Structure 1
Amino acid sequence: MMGDKEIYRQKAEAKLDEWKAELDKLKAQASHKSADVKQDVNHQIAALEAKLEEQKTKIAEIKEASGEAWDTLKDGMESAFDSMKSAFSDAKNKFKK
């Protein structure tokens, strides 16, 4: 039977894959925008890519964490996920221009 930590890690990896797919869509959409919008969006895309890399590292740390470290890491992941949702929302809004 899988523990909570492993289930959480799998869910986090699935969310990461979802965000990677969304990021690929944004990149494709950016190529059809004006130079000004493209520059702004590409900046946001770069920031999102950096956040995704951060999340990958944190997910890897989950495997090694135990006890209090796991609880702290989980809280940090929740906060980071909220930040990612907000960043994707902002990027998508740029495309509506």
Structure 2
Amino acid sequence: MSLKEAYKQKAEAELELAHARLVEFKAKAKSYTADTRLKYAKHVDELEHRIDSAKAGLKDLGEAGEDAWEKVKDGMENALGSLREAVRNTADKFRE
């Protein structure tokens, strides 16, 4: 397995985990009152946006050639870092 493919699999796994957490947050929010759901909607929307950005980066990574993927990797690292932060922030808000 190439380094690119290994990295792509790692990024896909992280993306799947973030998506699972998003589903969890949405399910949890359904049990809240309308006012409380609105309070958390901003955080859930931000997490969805970060997931979409990471998906786009993953697509770019998959399309990059073996010699160009390292350049795309930096952007993917930034997207995954933002995604991790959004998951943490959303989880923190749901604990409050």
TM-score (norm 1): 0.86
Q: CA deviation at 1:72?
A: 2.1
Q: Which SS does the other structure have where 1:43 is aligned?
A: helix
Aligned to 2:17: 18
Aligned to 1:7: 6
**1:76 corresponding residue in structure 2:** 75
Structure 2: segments with no counterpart, 5+ residues: none
Name stretches of at least 5 consecutive residues in structure 1 with no aligned partner: none
SS at match of 1:95: helix
Q: Distance in 2 between matches of 1:86 and 1:55?
A: 13
Alpha-carbon distance, 1:44 to partner: 1.4
Query: 1:59 aligns to what?
Result: 58
C-alpha RMSD over aligned residues: 1.5
Runs of 4+ in structure 1 over 3 Å off: none
Query: How far did residue 36 of structure 1 move?
Result: 3.1
Shift of 1:25: 0.5
Cα distance per residue 1:34-92 (max 9 Å; x no partner): 3333112122112211221221121111122132x422211111111111111111111
Task: Give the TM-score normalised by structure 2.
Answer: 0.86
Other structure's SS at 1:33 match: coil
8 Å contact from structure 2 (residues 22, 44) kept in 1:
yes
In structure 2, give the amino acid aligned to 1:75. D
Q: Is the 8 A contact 1:30 1:38 kept in 2?
A: yes
Partner of 1:88: 87
